[in-house]
Amino acid sequence: MDLLNTLVDKGLRREPPTRDEALAVLATSDDDLLEVVAAAGKVRRHWFGRRVKLNYLVNLKSGLCPEDCSYCSQRLGSRADILKYTWLKPEEASEAAAAGLAGGAKRVCLVASGRGPTDRDVDRVSETIRAIKEGNEGVEVCACLGLLSDGQAERLREAGADAYNHNLNTSEATYGDITTTHTYADRVDTVRKAHAAGLSACSGLIAGMGESDEDLVDVVFSLRELDPDSVPVNFLIPFEGTPLAKEWNLTPQRCLRILAMVRFVCPDAEVRIAGGREVHLRTMQPLALHLANSIFLGDYLTSEGQAGRADLEMIADAGFEVEGTDEVTLPEHRAGGGCHPDGDGRGSTDGDGRGSTDGDGRGSADGGVCGSAAAPAARSAGPRTDLVAVRRRGAGTDLAPNA
């Protein structure tokens, strides 16, 4: 397919596709899906080899959020039966993080619900960052605390944070349809604050909220312009008790096409499969590893994910390897301070196509638990509400976490 050959050539040169080319990826048929995955996989392997970076979420403060983001189970007015608790103590957060690190994660993502942190909150998170770093050599820490005020990103950086996550979520044109308590511009401003403070910027999207192909392309091109090092791709979990509870718009094939499009537009960025992979990709998760080079291990913020051991087995069975703490995630031109993704440079590689040996946080969409028994064929074609399980273990509970 001429389109795919063109996109591979551009991806290897870090040259962006045109909007029409990106839209064409989303419009490909299921018959062409494996060709699309194979093409995007060439770009993924060129920059990242067969490494898969594992990230682990710690929900520092669950629920009780004053924002009205329609997709979120922690939103103002949510009737979702999620865990609700206020700030974990630094030692509690550090203990929760240790479980993920023991499971192979190299980055801990500290997330807290709310519009944005107060200065006291920044102090609290800074103490948590230091506690995690002191006990785990080489660990990366990403914070995801909402909208940042002036000076807060710098304080997090001084405390040892490596990255900051704040997702754009959807296109600017449709942002007002999902949230009214803050604006798209507010989100862009926070990503820029993090970048300017020397933090590795992490920003991504949520697919499946009823958006058009044009909306998806718009937000991914906006992300490319912001130039984050990490781009998490969340797939909406329609939680009962939220306004988007009935929005089951995704198929495994659609999810793979979205990931391929993101890889072509952001060829040398860390693309992470985030919330919802178990619910929407289901048995096709291994194919997604050919497109993304990063996943979350275990559970998410308010929902349960696939068992941590199953994640590791999936990676190994698909012929990939877990990225070590001594390896650099990003290609050399990014790991050395980052650059805007234009031009024809490339990271140094070995014969395997592996990028030179590092860099995230997480959006508000949540993942679900993977069923252990095969579903009847007729059932698999419809919404899999049975795969959505509210988290009842780990942070904020007395039960061991899933890692």
24 in a structural domain: yes
What pairs with residue 169 in β-bridges? Answer: 205
pLDDT, residue 77, reads 84
- How many other CB atoms are there within 10 angstroms of residue 109's CB atom? 28
**pLDDT tens figures, 187-207:** 999 999 999 999 999 999 999
Domain span including residue 224: 2-324+354-387
Which token pair is 125?
Answer: 């998170």
Looking only at the bridges linking them, the beta strands covering 200-202 and 163-165 are parallel
For residue 157, being part of any structural domain is answered with yes
Catalytic positions, please?
A: 65, 69, 72, 109, 142, 202, 272
What is the average per-residue pLDDT within 82-87? 91
Task: Give strand pairing partners of 54.
Answer: 295
Domain count, the chain: 1
Q: How confident is the model at residue 380 (pLDDT cuts 50, 70, 90)?
A: low
Tokens standing for residue 392: 């009842």
pLDDT tens profile 24-51: 999 999 999 999 999 999 999 999 999 9
AA letter at 186: D
Residue whose tokens read 């949540």: 366
- Does residue 230 register a pLDDT over 50? yes
In a domain, 347, yes or no: no
What tens digit of pLDDT does each residue of 275-334 get?
999 999 999 999 999 999 999 999 999 888 999 999 999 999 999 999 999 999 999 999
Within-domain flag for 175: yes
> Domain for residue 345, yes or no?
no
271 located within any domain: yes
- For the domain that residue 38 is a member of, what is the CATH number? 3.20.20.70
Domain membership of residue 22 (yes or no) is yes
Tens digit of each residue's pLDDT (9 = 90 or more) over 357-371: 333 333 444 433 333
Rounded Cα gap, residues 141 and 164, in angstroms: 9
In whole angstroms, what is the distance from residue 16 CA to residue 10 CA?
Answer: 6
Which pLDDT score is estimated for 336? Answer: 57
Q: Count of residues for the chain? A: 403
Total Cβ atoms within 10 A of residue 144: 25
pTM for the complete prediction?
0.89
Is residue 218, in this structure, part of any structural domain at all?
A: yes
